[in-house]
Amino acid sequence: MKVLVIGGAGYIGSHVVKSLLNAGHKVTVFDNLSSGREENLFSNAGFFKGDILDPIGLAKAFQADDFEAVIHLAAFKAAGESMLKPEKYSVNNITGTINILNTMCEYDVKRIVFSSSAAVFGEPVRLPIDEDHPKNPENYYGFTKLEIERFLEWYDKLKGIKFAALRYFNAAGYDIDGEISGLEQSPANLLPVIMEAAVGMREKLQIFGNDYDTPDGTGVRDYVHVTDLAAGHVLALEYITEKNESLTVNLGSESGLSVMELLEEARKISGKEIPAQIVGRRPGDPAKLVASSALAKEKLGWTARYSDCETLIRTSWNVYKDRLNNLFE
């Protein structure tokens, strides 16, 4: 299929592009390179530099080929920042997505795979979290994702656009073949922060609380390898195409890892001390989040293959260790 990947130069987007190319799809990337990186682009994929807030630029990209599907990963994703700057998240995440949907209507593109998030659920009332779990986002970022899921339902009903909304849990790790190595800029998520502390890009890891009701007191999350996530996009695209029906699914590993477990494994694999300090809890952090991905298994035949602790850390370390010698260049 001819696929336009919006946000395809980003951390998850670049892995999705690789999976699509491997599956034989023809890929064009649309990205403003605000957090995406040029080094994440593949030479056998097309590229348009443009912004989803610029409908004229979007239209130009849509005119370039008869795209049969869009994969949309272009969004701001820092939950904490979204509470301080909701305007930024309204404009980019919501208005940007509406621009994409309207351009799809104009150019008669009938399929979209959308990056949703486990943040739509908020504080869990039961574990594991399945798709029917109540949705009460704790942060504005999660609210934007939930709103977009609702827009997608309306555009399906009114315009026949079939969608797959993929609710990612904690995306982590790097390409299993080591082909993608663009680092995220100013990351706030746990694993890149651990890696930055390991190579000296930051002084230390701050552990946000060790008094949670979890086996070692630190927060437990469902980390899903980005290569697994990428495979989920290809399967979801095939599903909505073959069945001509929309789909909303969780993508998670169904297993929980604590901050301490990841830190210890990172120390072991890197051989670095990785300075860490226990600090207070981060507001809005639940003790434990774990997905049920039974629906993704049933509908897509998807399961996480690379989301074990060792593989998550090893694939990340393979990318970050190269920065050790280049820190002061």
The catalytic residues are: 141
Task: By CB under 6 A, name the one of 106, 282, 283, 301 that touches ligand WQD.
Answer: 282
| 251 contacts 228 by C-beta, under 8 angstroms | yes
Q: How far apart are CA 74 and CA 184, in angstroms?
A: 14
Number of residues near ligand WQD (by CB under 6 A): 22
Task: By CB under 6 A, name the one of 104, 198, 259, 290 that touches ligand WQD.
Answer: 259
Cβ at position 295, least distance to ligand WQD in Å: 18
Cβ at position 160, least distance to ligand WQD in Å: 28
Q: How far apart are CA 60 and CA 125, in angstroms?
A: 45
The answer to whether 255 contacts ligand WQD (rule: CB under 6 A) is no
The two three-digit tokens of residue 16, written as one number: 């999705």
The pattern of x and - marking residues 173 through 202 that bind ligand WQD according to CB under 6 A reads ---------------xxx--x---------
One DSSP character per residue, 41-62 reads: --TTSEEEE--TT-HHHHHHHH
Q: Which stretch binds ligand WQD (CB under 6 A): 31-39, 42-50, 95-103, 205-213?
A: 205-213
| 216 contacts 276 by C-beta, under 8 angstroms | no
Single-letter code of the amino acid located at 325: N
Q: How far apart are CA 8 and CA 113, in angstroms?
A: 13
- Our CB check for ligand WQD shows the closer of 127 and 193 to be 193
Q: Which of 157, 61, 74, 161 is nearest to 111 (CA)?
A: 161
- Our CB check for ligand WQD shows the closer of 1 and 193 to be 193
The answer to whether 144 contacts ligand WQD (rule: CB under 6 A) is no
- Our CB check for ligand WQD shows the closer of 57 and 128 to be 128
Half-sphere exposure of 215 (CA within 13 A, CB side): 8
Q: How far apart are CA 264 and CA 185, in angstroms?
A: 24
Q: Which stretch binds ligand WQD (CB under 6 A): 20-28, 59-67, 203-211, 313-321?
A: 203-211
3-state secondary structure of 185: coil
Subset of 15-74 contacting ligand WQD (CB under 6 A): none
Task: By CB under 6 A, name the one of 119, 176, 230, 234 that touches ligand WQD.
Answer: 119
- Our CB check for ligand WQD shows the closer of 42 and 212 to be 212
The answer to whether 86 contacts ligand WQD (rule: CB under 6 A) is no
Q: How far apart are CA 126 and CA 143, in angstroms?
A: 20
- Our CB check for ligand WQD shows the closer of 96 and 219 to be 219
Subset of 154-173 contacting ligand WQD (CB under 6 A): 168, 170
Q: Which stretch binds ligand WQD (CB under 6 A): 21-29, 81-89, 116-124, 308-316?
A: 116-124
Q: How far apart are CA 231 and CA 134, in angstroms?
A: 27
Task: By CB under 6 A, name the one of 7, 13, 96, 219 that touches ligand WQD.
Answer: 219
Q: How far apart are the first and last CA of the chain?
A: 42
| 250 contacts 116 by C-beta, under 8 angstroms | no
One DSSP character per residue, 209-259 reads: -S-SSSTTSS-EE-EEEHHHHHHHHHHHHHHHHHH---EEEEE--S--EEH
Binding site for ligand WQD (CB under 6 A): 77, 79, 117-119, 141-142, 168, 170, 188-190, 193, 205-208, 219, 221, 259, 282, 285
